[in-house]
């Protein structure tokens, strides 16, 4: 067993030190901070606070991204998500009293995140991260639609979870929490890239969507009511999709 | 005196853990059957339940003052796990419930006593009725599978749900509520000995797999009941504003154990057994947290938000069992339970400490640090634990289980769940994660030093 462990560590070091973790992750983190004009965070973070960056960094290092060293297997979504969420739970544990508003936002995020991840897992027949990057050979319109719905739900869930858009508050985020946002973005890039890879003609939809989002941003993005309704609608659609798949599976097993 | 009792409880807990582990390893490859006494038999399932109940007893001894009849109740209950005879099992459950609620008997509150005895009576009706109608008096009998009818199953499931002190507790009038006199006199916080004693009621349900395979309807009913319990507990824990004891968290975990047992795969049975061990640990953790509310405690280590702790591994196992069986909605319920139990523990006020390794030695010996490290050790060593004592249970019950979900141990230095086509569907490389985290900690420390020096130079 010790041999296995050492062999694994030997295989994993380029991931930990160079790409996707290590130097690469630090550079991306620096760019992200520079975008928000918060480079000082890197210097002002104490050593023990740096330790809280370890789990999201580990997740980024183990992601099955293209060009990274093969490790044989991959983590599953549940473990990956818990690694990414460590800074959040740390922050919750150390707050003197849990802010009701932030708790509500977390619940709102998870009520979208859980059904969308389960939907993806059901469509890919696996919970592993590696399976989320592969696209099946035969696409049916219903499965494709459900897949887009799941990714949309996931994307929407990131707004309340990472306090983006109308969910922003005044509290400045720590280094670990910034890294958490990056880990979330890296994680959602896996199914998004898998979806776009087989359908290159869908690529133009991304800038169009972004343009629409910016246009919508002028009018609706700042109004919480719009978000609440969207989240409720998508959540309902996700649970309906899950229930539909469950019924199909039940019928298959019964017949 | 208090400290002495806690140390004594700690010692007994360690001893019972070791004894249970030894028995479980002994019957790992095949059940032990006494050659001249056919009523004595220990297989892997009985060994695990012996261990869990011994651990519960040790926790109770360490954390509260118990009357003699509670010990007698646990003693008789242990006899139930040692025998294949249906009569002996039913009698042991009946007598131990009588002992457990001896105070009701003494104060002649017979109506309340009848409410408490209901699960045992249901079990007696089911199993003795089965014996009387089919002549099966032993779960190892050849015709046991044919004797297992729907009414037997329904009564056993009812007994498990009632005995887990879960369904009736909140929905019925006071005289029927499954609470002891002592608990009524104090607050609901004192209800926890009952929930530990109630764990034994999963034994009859899991034992049904020894009789033969379940049909799909029975699995569905068990799954629905368990998931309903999970979701009820989740809603309770989000509504509760004050103490943990009221959240009914432990009942949700019992629901998780029942639901995963209903999945009827090797992963499901393993998940149910790990959930049992987790409940004993969680209940002791909650009590210690209640007792030391004002001390700095590493709540995040106890909450199960960390990927290699015991509650996390238990939820992971339950979710992969649900995925293997293709029941995604149940996986959602388990995930919600894990999340709500993590948040409920984190909501405990006050929390002062922000430092990573700020556990004082005093609080360590009084339990909180000890419980946190125990959860880490058990979570890390879960592949070994599964391999040694928990998967053998699934192997010995194989005749009654479905192939929808199994576990493989040690690929990638952890646990991996596979579906019926032996394809991996979920992976938790616990030891590898821990090792990589150590390496990354060193790297993060170096980076922090680098930036610090840069700061100093400027």
The pair of three-digit structure tokens given for residue B352, joined into one six-digit string: 């002062």
A199 contacts: CB under 8 Å, gap ≥ 6: none
The confidence score (pLDDT) of residue B87 equals 93
Number of Cβ pairs closer than 8 Å across A and B? 174
- How far apart CA B393 and CA B29 sit, in angstroms, is 10
pLDDT, one tens digit per residue, over A79-122 is 999 999 988 888 877 765 556 778 888 888 999 999 999 999 99
B349 touches chain A (CB under 8 A): yes
Of A46, A73, A96, the CB nearest to B412: A73
Return the SS3 of B135.
coil
The SS3 of residue B365 is helix
Point out the residue among A16, A92, A246 whose CB comes nearest to the CB of B328: A246
B343 in reach of chain A (CB within 8 A): yes
Two structure tokens written together for B363? 């609080």
Which of these, A86, A84, A90, A87, lies nearest to A63 by C-alpha position? Answer: A84
Give the mean model confidence (pLDDT) for residues A2-10.
Answer: 86
The predicted pLDDT at position A52 comes to 87
Helix/strand/coil percent split, chain A, to 5: 75, 0, 20
Mean pLDDT value across residues A32-54:
85
Q: What is the mean pLDDT of residues A202-210?
A: 69
In angstroms, the Cα distances linking B403 to A78, A131, B265 are: 23, 22, 6
ipTM of the complex: 0.92
Note the maximum CA span of chain B. Answer: 89
Element (H, E) at B380: helix B368-380
Of A8, A50, A55, the CB nearest to B432: A8
Q: Which of B419, B387, B423, B392 is nearest to B406 (CA)?
A: B419
Q: Where are the domains of chain B?
A: 1-206, 213-458
Compare all CA atoms of chain A with the CA of B342 and give the residue at the minimum distance.
A89
Which chain B residue shows the shortest CA-CA distance from A113?
Answer: B332
Residues 6 or more apart from B300 whose CB is under 8 A from it?
A: A89, A90, A92, A93, B306, B346
Residues in chain B within 8 Å Cβ distance of A61: 436, 440
Position B233 scores a pLDDT of: 84
The secondary structure of chain B in percent helix, strand, coil, rounded to multiples of 5, reads: 70, 5, 25
- Identify which has the larger pLDDT, B189 or A60: A60
Helices assigned H by DSSP within chain A: 2-17, 22-35, 40-44, 47-51, 54-62, 77-94, 100-124, 129-133, 141-161, 175-198, 205-216, 224-254
Q: A61, A20 in Cβ contact below 8 A?
A: yes
**B241: phi then psi, degrees, rounded to nearest 5:** -115, -20
Beta strands B406-409 and B41-42 are unpaired
Chunked in runs of 10, what are the mean pLDDT values of chain B (458 residues)?
Answer: 74 87 91 83 93 89 81 91 93 92 85 84 93 88 86 94 63 40 42 77 93 90 93 79 59 92 94 94 79 66 83 95 91 93 73 50 63 87 92 91 88 86 90 92 88 74
pLDDT of residue B177: 40
At residue B367, the pLDDT reads 60
Q: Which residue of A has its CA nearest to B440?
A: A54
Per-residue model confidence (pLDDT) at position B179: 42
d(CA A118, CA B329): 8
């Amino acid at each position: 067993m010790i041999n296995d462990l050492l062999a694994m560590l030997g295989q994993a070091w380029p991931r930990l030190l160079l790409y996707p973790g290590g130097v690469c992750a630090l550079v991306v983190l620096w760019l992200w901070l520079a975008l928000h004009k918060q480079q000082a965070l890197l210097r002002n973070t104490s050593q023990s606070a740096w330790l809280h960056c370890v789990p999201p960094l580990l997740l980024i290092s183990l992601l099955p991204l293209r060009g990274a060293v093969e490790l044989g297997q991959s983590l599953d979504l549940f473990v990956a998500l818990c690694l990414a969420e460590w800074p959040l739970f740390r922050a919750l544990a150390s707050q003197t009293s849990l802010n009701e508003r932030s708790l509500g936002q977390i619940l709102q995020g998870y009520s979208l995140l859980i059904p969308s991840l389960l939907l993806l897992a059901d469509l890919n027949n696996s919970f592993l991260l590696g399976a989320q990057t592969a696209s099946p050979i035969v696409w049916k319109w219903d499965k494709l639609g459900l897949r887009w719905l799941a990714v949309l739900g996931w994307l929407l869930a990131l707004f309340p979870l990472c306090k983006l858009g109308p969910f922003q508050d005044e509290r400045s985020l720590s280094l670990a929490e910034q890294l958490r946002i990056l880990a979330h973005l890296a994680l959602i890039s896996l199914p998004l890239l898998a979806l776009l890879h087989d359908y290159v003609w869908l690529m133009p939809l991304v800038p169009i969507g972004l343009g629409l989002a910016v246009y919508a941003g002028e009018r609706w993005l700042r109004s919480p009511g719009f978000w609440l309704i969207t989240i409720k609608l998508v959540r309902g659609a996700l649970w309906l999709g899950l229930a539909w798949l469950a019924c199909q599976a039940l019928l298959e097993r019964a017949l | 005196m208090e400290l002495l009792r806690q140390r004594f409880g700690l010692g007994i807990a360690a001893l019972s853990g070791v004894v249970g582990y030894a028995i479980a390893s002994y019957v790992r490859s095949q059940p032990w059957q006494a050659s001249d006494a056919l009523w004595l038999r220990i297989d892997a399932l009985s060994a695990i339940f012996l261990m869990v109940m011994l651990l519960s007893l040790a926790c109770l001894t360490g954390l509260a003052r118990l009357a003699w009849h509670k010990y007698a109740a646990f003693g008789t209950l242990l006899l139930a796990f040692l025998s294949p005879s249906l009569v002996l099992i039913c009698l042991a459950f009946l007598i131990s419930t009588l002992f457990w609620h001896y105070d009701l008997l003494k104060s002649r509150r017979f109506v309340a006593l009848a409410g408490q005895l209901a699960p045992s009576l249901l079990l007696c009706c089911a199993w003795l009725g089965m014996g009387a109608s089919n002549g099966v008096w032993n779960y190892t009998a050849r015709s046991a599978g044919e004797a297992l009818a729907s009414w037997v199953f329904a009564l056993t499931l009812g007994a498990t749900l009632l005995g887990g002190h879960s369904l009736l507790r909140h929905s019925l009038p006071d005289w029927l509520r499954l609470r002891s006199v002592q608990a009524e006199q104090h607050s609901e916080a004192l209800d926890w000995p009952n929930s530990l004693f109630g764990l034994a009621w999963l034994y009859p349900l899991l034992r049904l797999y020894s009789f033969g395979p379940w049909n799909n309807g029975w699995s569905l009913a068990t799954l629905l009941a368990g998931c309903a319990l999970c979701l009820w507990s989740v809603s309770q824990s989000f509504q509760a504003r004050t103490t943990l004891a009221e959240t009914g968290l432990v009942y949700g975990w019992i629901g998780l154990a029942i639901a995963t047992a209903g999945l009827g795969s090797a992963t499901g049975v393993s998940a149910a057994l790990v959930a049992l061990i987790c409940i004993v640990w969680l209940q002791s953790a909650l009590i210690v947290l209640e007792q030391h509310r004002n001390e700095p405690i590493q709540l995040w280590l106890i909450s199960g938000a960390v990927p290699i702790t015991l509650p996390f591994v238990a939820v992971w196992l339950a979710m992969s069992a649900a995925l293997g069986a293709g029941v995604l909605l149940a996986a959602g319920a388990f995930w919600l339970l894990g999340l709500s139990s993590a948040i409920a523990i984190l909501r405990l006020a006050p929390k002062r400490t922000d430092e990573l390794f700020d556990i004082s030695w005093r609080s360590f010996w009084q339990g909180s640090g000890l419980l946190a490290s125990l959860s880490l050790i058990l979570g890390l060593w879960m592949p070994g634990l599964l391999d040694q004592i928990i998967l053998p249970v699934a192997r010995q019950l194989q005749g009654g289980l479905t192939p929808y979900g199994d576990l493989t141990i040690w690929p990638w230095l952890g646990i991996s769940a596979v579906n019926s086509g032996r394809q991996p569907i979920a992976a938790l490389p616990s030891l590898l994660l821990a090792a990589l985290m150590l390496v990354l900690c060193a790297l993060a420390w170096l980076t922090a030093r680098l930036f610090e020096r840069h700061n100093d130079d400027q």
